Amino acid sequence: MTQIDEFNKWLKNPEGLHLEFKAARNSFSWDKALPDYCAALANEGGGKLILGVEDKTHKIIGSKAFEGTHNTLSHDLLNNLKVRIDVEELHHPDGRVLIFHVPARPFGQPIQSSGQYKYPMRAGESLVEMDPGTLRRILNEVESDFSAKIVPGLTITDLDDSALNNFRQKWSQKSGREAYLKFPSEKLLQAIGILTDLGINYAGLVLFGKKEKLDQLLPTSEIIFEWRTAKKIPHDFRQTWRDPFFKIYDEVWNTINARNLRFPFQEGLFQREVFAFNEKAIREALLNAVAHRDYTLGGRSIFITASPEDFTIESPGGFLPGITPDNILVQRAWRNRVIAETLEKSGLVERAGQGMDDIFASTIKEGKGMPDFSGSDNY
């Protein structure tokens, strides 16, 4: 919720690519102007559309637009623009205003409007159709594989032997080749694309790096788990892992499972049981977060919150370009390809893209309903 003091500070700022004021004293076009301005703000990097404020003077005049229906606008805009836009009604002392919080477009994906313009953008104080050069530049954006980048100065001695041994065992078991068990660390890392002629990449640091090296070089490579016995702000239990993933993947699940709840039910003559947290679904969701999160976001970690009623994993970075809650079961994309391929070689990931299918199948089969993918960072 926006505070009045914060809103008053916005009024002192000039309009620009990220801030748009509209008087909208009595109404505002929901099928043309609204999607166009929201799409334009998203295409320019995100911002706020504010109704009930004169664009020239920044004087609050109040707006009657969408009275009684503003709660439906976020859903309508999501259907039209495929972008989640939060809509806030603020009752300012000088009048009612509506605030549309518009996120930036996904990387490599322009936002298409259902209004007057197909791909709107700002040109001064006006909206115009996006020029071919700008559209081409956005479509040609390529998100590089962070996990393939070399970590300056990282050596094999900076990697955790137990994490390497865990991977070696799993790779040998998955491939059916006992020879992998005898691979020295250097040959092992070269074979899976972690060690190149230029050095060891970030996939090696995330999956095998010693704790002190993660603390020093990539403190965002961390998993935080919080347990609450009820919906409340204070947590009852918290644990943080900043360790090589191949050292802790079982420990994370065991910590979650220690707080798992068993729900027995009668099926005919037999008593069966369902657990609150399905091991396969939880492990798949965690692997997805490790493989596809954005490690470049400062101050962000993989955050797991659980209670007897809910289980949420926050994976920093949100959906990749072209991935939406509607197509997540059929579209495939990579953010950290080397990490994902290493997890697949180990057998932790059965095959590329199957994880989401398994999550949906297990939750629906156990009568827990559909998983909720918010379109942001949470699932």
CA–CA distance, 160 with 181 (Å, rounded to integer) = 16
Q: What is the pLDDT of residues 19-52, one digit of tens each?
A: 999 999 999 999 999 999 999 999 988 999 999 9
pLDDT for residue 376: 42
DSSP state of 18: T
Mean pLDDT of all residues in 202-217:
97
d(CA 13, CA 57): 11
pLDDT in tens, 212-260: 999 999 999 999 999 998 777 788 999 999 999 999 999 999 999 999 8
DSSP track, 298-366: TT--EEEEE-SS-EEEE-TT-SPTT--TTTTTT----SSHHHHHHHHHHTSSSSTTHHHHHHHHHHHHT
User: Is there a single domain that holds both residue 106 and residue 249?
Assistant: no
Q: How many C-beta atoms surround the C-beta of residue 269 within 10 A?
A: 5
Are 159 and 130 part of one and the same domain?
no
Backbone torsions φ then ψ of 51, nearest 5 degrees: -100, 140
pLDDT value for 15 = 79
Same domain, yes or no: 216 and 295 = yes
Residue 191 counted as domain residue: yes
Q: Do 124 and 262 belong together in one domain? A: no
Residue 41 domain-assigned (yes or no): yes
Range of the domain at 27: 4-139
The domain spanning residue 46 has which CATH number?
A: 3.30.950.30
Residue 180, judged by CB atoms within 10 A of its CB (0-12, 13-18, 19+), counts as: buried
Does 50 share its domain with 98?
Answer: yes
Instruction: Choose one of 116, 139, 162: the last residue of a domain.
Output: 139
Q: Half-sphere exposure of 361 toward its Cβ, with a 13 Å CA cutoff?
A: 9
Q: Residues 152, 124: one domain?
A: no
**The domain boundary residue, chosen from 139, 173, 195:** 139
Residue 370, in any domain of the structure: no
For residues 189 and 135, membership in a common domain is answered with: no
Predicted local distance difference test score (pLDDT) of residue 277: 86
Total domains, the chain:
2
Asked which of 133-147, 171-185, 197-211 is least confident by mean pLDDT, the reply is 133-147
Alpha helices (H) along 147-278: 161-175, 185-191, 202-208, 211-217, 245-257
